[in-house]
Structure 1
Amino acid sequence: MLIHPSKLLCTLLFFLSFSIHAAVTAKLDQSTIYQGEKLTLTLETDQTNQNRPDLRALQKDYVILSTKKVTLSSHSTNAVITRNRWVLSLRPIGDGEKVIPSIKVGTEVSPEVSLSVLPAEQNPHPSEGVLRPIYLEVELNKEEVYIGGQAILSARIFHLTTLSQDTNLSQPESIDALIKPLEEQKKYTTVVRGQRYTVTENNYAVFPRQEGMIEISPLFLSTTLANDTVLELNSPPQLLSVLPPTYNNSNTLWLPAKSLHIEDNLSDIHHASAGTAFTRIISMEAEGLPASVLPSLSVLENELAEIKLLNVILEEQMTERGVISQRTEELVITPSEAGEITLPPIDIPWWNTLNDQGQTASLPSRILLTSAPSASDRALPVNNNAHSTPHPSNQTPELLIWLLTAISIISALGWIYSFNQLRILKNDSKQNETEIAQEQTMRKQAANEIAEKNTFQALSMACNQNNPTIAQLRLIEWAQSFWNDPLLLSLEHICERANNQTFTFLILDLEQYLYSQSAELWQGDLLLDTIEKLRQRQQRLIAMEEDDNPTYG
């Protein structure tokens, strides 16, 4: 079959035309823009396949905001021409002279296109939505907080260029809150709407002093731009809702914190000597509280020892999470006599703001054994007359006889004296044994009285704080000291020993709060008042026994 030359020529021209139009074109809607503005890139090809543009080359210097494909058809003599067009919305990252790189579509690539991006501060008429060269953002990390609790205020300056030396940011203020700056100023970079900003951040811890809605003053920023223009910015005031305490107690101790614990150094001290001082160090660490609100930890009253508060150290560590504070108390303890020194337990109620529930940080009671001071070694007397003793060989017989006679007489007298002394000591030893037994009994009674007073003090603190869990533990400790019975291990045993109807009723009320998980607040004042009456009745019975059995010295 022969092809007519004219048809062959038309066919060659058609394929030549197709190859010429198959190239990819690239066109920008504007060649010069300001930093932060958007531009439109149009890619067009007459390829009939469905290949999409490979846009990975754009991702280094541009943020791709959107893409859209449009198919165009045109009719000519004996042919239908179809073209594919991709419309891309871009935002350049940074400023300066840039290039739209070659983009591959199928087997073809587009040409490079030049672009000039001017600094944003040179834009005389920035349009709505265009990124600013510098702006201020202030926010709180929470909308509500307990009174005395901690909220974090963050002030961030977003800037495209380096801040000038005269940049000044005011400090947040509030008449209803204590505000402390946290750690040092931070700097980092972030991308906002396709633009890379440097962020200068300052953080502050806010501790409200008043319930209700409080206001933190606006922050004021002033700086000089690259074109010597002075820029002044104000943030809106920050509002914070402050919640009241969830409970009240007699000593007004309210500590809302993320964590709180106490410890001391007595785990390494088990024995002491009377008259010899040693140091006890008690420390409390709390996260989310200023050091100024941490309460006193020491009990300075003790009948068997002199306790003095040597030093109190308050420290604060400013971290990204907020304030971590510490209170350290140094005590000098001097035992006054041998025996057992009972140091009462320490209970600090606090409110856990992480799980929103009350807790108690505790140190158990400490018992130290003290011994009598050791006697100093006494030096033996030195015989200085040894050199003057005459040698026996030099003495005369008469002198030897007189010496032997004197020794015999002295020995006889010594035996008589020793016999009498032994008889006297035998009678005295019986009396001494009785006195020692009486003294040991008195010492034991005094130790029991001191232990009872210390445990009652700890029980009073738990009742005043309206803490049923700690009150149960301290009640058992007190009962064991009060009745001098270590086998009182439960509230039921204590009720049987007390034999008091009112006391039993209050114990049942305490157990109801412990095991029913009641939402109401337990009140410990009635229980404490009843225990006071039990102690007073016991004291009257002891006084009556002493009157019936007087002791004469």
Structure 2
Amino acid sequence: MVTRKRSALIWLTTLLMGWSVICHAKFTASVDRTIINQNETVELTLRSDKQEFGAEPDLSPLHELFTVLGRSQRSQYQSVNGKTQSWTDWIITLRPKQSGYVVIPPISLRGEKTKPITLDVKPAGSNQQLSGKNVSPVFIEASLDKEKVFVQEQAVLTILIYHSVPLYDDSRITPLTIPSVISQQLGEVKNYETIINGQRYGVFELKYAIFPQESGEILIPALKFTSTVASQSRRNSPFNMFPRQIGTPVEEYSPEIKLTVKAPPASAKGHWLPAQKLTLTENWSTDTSQLKVGDSVTRTIEIKAEGLTAAQLPPLTTPELNGVKLYPDKSQTKDIPTDQGIIGQRIESIALVPTQAGTIELPEIRYRWFNTTSQTIEEAVLPAKQITVAPVATSQAQPTAPSAPATAPTPSVVATQPEINTTLTKPSPLSSGVWPWFTLLFATLWLITLGLWWQQRQQQPKTANTLSNTPAVENASTQKLFNGLMNSCDQQNLTEIRRLFVQWSQQALDNPQIQNLQKTDECWQNPALSAYLQALDNQLYGNQSLPFDCAAFKQQIKQLKPTKQAKPAKHSLMPLYPSLSN
């Protein structure tokens, strides 16, 4: 009877836990793009962070502003490193019924609702340039968001591949390669539908951010698109029990486009940063108003620029502060692709440890950039800041030791002492004769052990002292590079210090992938060394007036202890062309 009650209790608890998970399942919505034409489709993805069985989202709020053209459902389950994750997606194909700003309303599932999404729907006449023309079953359009840009300014190239016939999944397009231009694909290939002259077309959309590195006129070349048109008769044949990819090959080229690249204006000095928007923000790990001597506080500064890659953002300089020890962390960089281009992000963190009480004066930080929208030089500024450091709270005074009493102890204390027997007894023979022999025996055994240990030590091969301040070297080549690095530090030759440190690190760590200073910093994983390497780069390329402390850097190198790192596994090559799916 007790067993049945216990089983029922366990079953009820499990049911309640499952119901709690269902009630708190996360339900979200996303779209593949937010700017479309009225005659185009958009894919709405509804996701529940659990596997749903029998439950369906309520799509009725969509019918007022959208035509639902199709829907599909898929569930996935995965386990990575012991952590399981499952979800269910509903993919809804929508076509807006009107232009302007159209809102996808909240969709509900099991009491949970998604957040609304706003679409920018352009008028249906956006493809009027194709009206009245004999449109091919497969054709390509290419366009730039700007006709003229400055050197290193971003331009967004859009490639649209239209097809009114079914294509196999072997669609390919050649990569974008332009001399003296850095290009980067923005996200994945988008796939949607549109209507041209009453004909429904599937569309592949690719976007690239391009950054010209030289002034003049550049030509964006034609990109080659290849695919296979599925044979309609073979597809519908009742005898096609084992279908093969039989169809008509198709090959199309995008039009060539010219782009004018202008030189930076004469007013631009220092770092040239052409961006649409640039911001500086800072965060502190703790409240700076409660700071005391010896406390640690971390200052994190984020630089975010629209229209620039993270590699284009120069590092911030770290001035010396009186009464403060600074411990800069390794910078973090990231490129965030969007439909409008790249957003470059650089995050720099530095720990501050006050060593004395008083006021810390943090100077203002200025980041000079060129606004490509207003065509003006601007500065992002973090204002100067004062931090008051309080002294360490003094501990409570320790009580002083009491002085010795001037008088003799009280009689009561003496009375409690036991009576002492003053009669002298003759020591026994055992106590006087045996213990010296035991002592001699133990001493003899100890001397024998010491001798055996010394003999074994002399027979061991001599090995290099791994705790020495000078790093161990494996061969003459590594030793030669190390000696040259030391001499360069003595001569204060910063260029040679940078070059030899990279070469020596490559051999000392046995890592052929170390080809530059950044990779060297990553492999050593030494915060103190990172600060010196950043200061070295700032001195060489950042127009810094403060001298680089070559002697301190030399001592820092001597403290390094090289360890062999596991060589990375060889990875297979990525596909040459991006894959396009129907």
TM over 0.5, shorter chain: no
| Structure with more helix by fraction | 1
State the TM-score bracket (shorter-chain normalisation).
0.3 to 0.5
More contact order relative to length (CA 8 Å, sep ≥ 6) = 2
Structure 1 length-normalised TM: 0.45
Structure number with bigger Rg: 1
TM-score by length of 2: 0.42
